Structure 1
Amino acid sequence: MSQPEISTAKQPTTHHTNFCFPVRELESERVKLTPFIPDLHADLYFQGSAAYPDLYDFIPWETFTDASDFVKKVIDSRVRPDGVALYAVIDKTRTSPSPSSSANFAGIIGYMNTSPANLSTEIGYALILPPFQRTHVTTNAIGLLLQYALDLPPHGLGLRRVQWMANSRNTKSIGAVQKLGFKLEAILRWDRIFVGSKASVTNGVKEREGDPCPGTIGTDSVLLALCWDDWESERVRVLQAMDRRS
């Protein structure tokens, strides 16, 4: 069973983040997570996602007009102000002429809502491109983030809690992280408002008369978590899942 490695190599000077912990490259035998740099990765994300509007079925995003639209609406408006550590997901098993190309760029994932005071974080922005779904990519990407977050220093951050939130209708997302040891903690009713008509995410309850946001969709969220004491028993199983070939 291979041991994922955490690179301490100096990151490109064009990489800027407000994240509260060091942002390092994380790497397993088959997947690398490298800090998302708009000049290197934004166009790869746009080109890889443009044909798949259903990628946003369960999140309040729409398709983007071009790479600069993605940078404006996601990187500049959400990632940087909120201190998100966003990673580009690279599939090392795909032959590529460069470290990051359309052949091996598999999507994005990151840490959000991170609290150094409470030693907690949330894995979010998990958007794996359809050609890389149902492969080793998602398991390895989440596993690398779990290892860095929950392992003790100097190899990890020594956090106590990693959480995952998903729309209650997104059973694929919920099932995927439960297989890695995340435990269901709560159903947050009426947790989010979606503007638009994404029927796939609605909680199915009609809005009340006089609602301040008429015509919007109410959604429920599922909250799951994997904590340090879970990790002590689940770590080996997660690494085995990352190594699995079928």
Structure 2
Amino acid sequence: MSPFDDANFCFPVQPGLLANDRVKLTLMTPTRHASAFFHATSAHPDIYAHMPSGPFATEADFVTFLQQKALADPAFLILAIIDKTQPPSAEDDEGALAGMMSFFDTSTIHLSTEIGYVVTLPPFRRTHVTTNAVGLMLQYAFTAEADGGMGLRRVQWKANSVNAASIRVAQRLGFRDEGLLRWHMVFRDGVQKGKVGNGRPLPKGSLDGDVGRDTVVLGLCWDEWEGGVRETVSELMVRTV
């Protein structure tokens, strides 16, 4: 039985394409992963400073997020990152829960998706985890459908313009800067939630506590992947400590 049998994703998922000898990506489920993930992030609300979701006040709030996104939207696939270099855990028989990543805004018509909702838990930062997890997602995205992949033409990455770490990760893995979306998002009650925005005053009549965000758009396309990015990503995955 595949861990993705319960996924409501618009593409079939072959687990073998989302694992290597150090990292595995599996369907994040409320029953197996939510409690550990919530408790690992609850002391670090800054994790959500650049994201439209979170921080989550309770474990039930995080479960609701998973249900509304992963289970209700076929364009959305939330993945738990498992570090296979660590001992087995309650969350996975092959290793420790190391974070979360997602495919979203996925289109079977336009053959595109976005990688986002990227959270690497604090103990696993600056290790092999993030590079390998994103690399596995890219391999699955650009592998032909006949070989079990998604056969996509484009993968997108959008980041808060002040989130230099997220932008560096994408650039390092071959994404190209494509532009800046000014005033792309409004974080409702962003001040209270610790959101980081563009720092510019909001228009007259905006609600107290709202925060405005500019967004950097980066993209990676199939021809760039075939033209050398695949090899670069594979080398980075092997080389990363």
TM-score by length of structure 2 reads: 0.89
- Residue 147 of structure 1 aligns to a residue whose secondary structure is helix
- 1:53 aligns to what? 45
Matched-pair contact (CA < 8 Å) for 1:24–1:34: no
1:189 is paired with a residue whose SS is strand
Within 1, Cα distance between the matches of 2:209 and 2:170? 32
Distance 1:204 1:99, change over 3 A: closer
Say whether residues 1:22 and 2:12 are aligned partners: yes
Equivalent-residue separation in structure 2 for 1:96 and 1:80 (angstroms): 26
| Cα distance in 2 between the residues matched to 1:145 and 1:177 | 12
User: Which ranges in structure 1 are unaligned for 5 or more consecutive residues?
Assistant: 1-9
Distance 1:91 1:226 in 2: 25
Task: Please give the secondary structure, in 2, of the residue aligned with 1:241.
Answer: helix
Deviation at 1:195, TM superposition (A): 1.7
Q: Cα RMSD between the aligned structures? A: 2.1
Secondary structure of 1:21's counterpart equals coil
Query: Given the alignment of the two structures, is residue 229 of structure 1 paired with residue 193 of structure 2, yes or no?
Result: no
Helix, strand or coil at the partner of 2:147: coil
Shift of 1:200: 5.8
Amino acid at match of 2:9: F
**Does 2:34 correspond to 1:42?**
yes
2:218 aligned partner, one-letter code: L
Deviation at 1:82, TM superposition (A): 2.6
Equivalent residue of 1:201, what SS? coil
Distance 2:73 2:147 in 1: 26
Runs of 4+ in 1 over 3 A off after TM superposition: none
* Alignment-derived partner of residue 82 in structure 1: 73
Matched, 1:137 2:132: no
Contact kept in structure 1, 2:14 and 2:148, CA below 8 Å: no
Name the % identity. Answer: 45
More divergent stretch after superposition (60-69 vs 149-158)? 60-69
Question: Is 1:190 equivalent to 2:183 in the alignment?
Answer: yes
Could you tell me which amino acid in structure 1 is paired with residue 199 of structure 2? G
Asked whether the 8 Å contact 1:86–1:110 carries over to 2, the reply is yes
Deviation at 1:78, TM superposition (A): 2.6
Is the alpha carbon distance of 1:12 and 1:185 closer, same or farther for their aligned partners in structure 2, counting shifts above 3 Å? closer
CA distance in structure 2 between the partners assigned to 1:92 and 1:203 by the alignment: 38
Paired position in structure 2 for 1:180: 173
Residue number in structure 2 paired with 1:161: 154
The answer to whether the 8 Å contact 1:184/1:222 transfers is yes
- 1:124 has 2:98 as partner: no
**Contact between 1:162 and 1:225, CA under 8 Å: does it hold in 2?**
yes
Higher helix share: 2
Tell me the secondary structure at the aligned position of residue 20 of structure 1: coil
Name the TM-score, length of structure 1 as normaliser: 0.88
After superposition, give the CA deviation of every residue in 1:67-91 in whole Å (9 maximum; x if it has no partner): 222111x112233233211111000
Check conservation: 1:185, 1:225, Cα contact below 8 A: yes
1:163-194, Cα deviation, whole Å (9 max, x unpaired): 00110010000001100100000100000001
2:88 is the counterpart of 1:93: no
Give the whole-Å Cα distance in 1 for the aligned partners of 2:182 and 2:219: 17
Counterpart of 2:230, as a letter, is R
Tell me the SS of whatever aligns to 1:178: helix
CA distance in structure 2 between the partners assigned to 1:46 and 1:186 by the alignment: 33
Cα distance change of structure 1 residues 141 and 169 upon mapping to structure 2, 3 Å threshold: same
Shift in Å, 1:65? 3.6
Tell me, in whole angstroms, the C-alpha distance in 1 between the residues paired with 2:186 and 2:73.
19
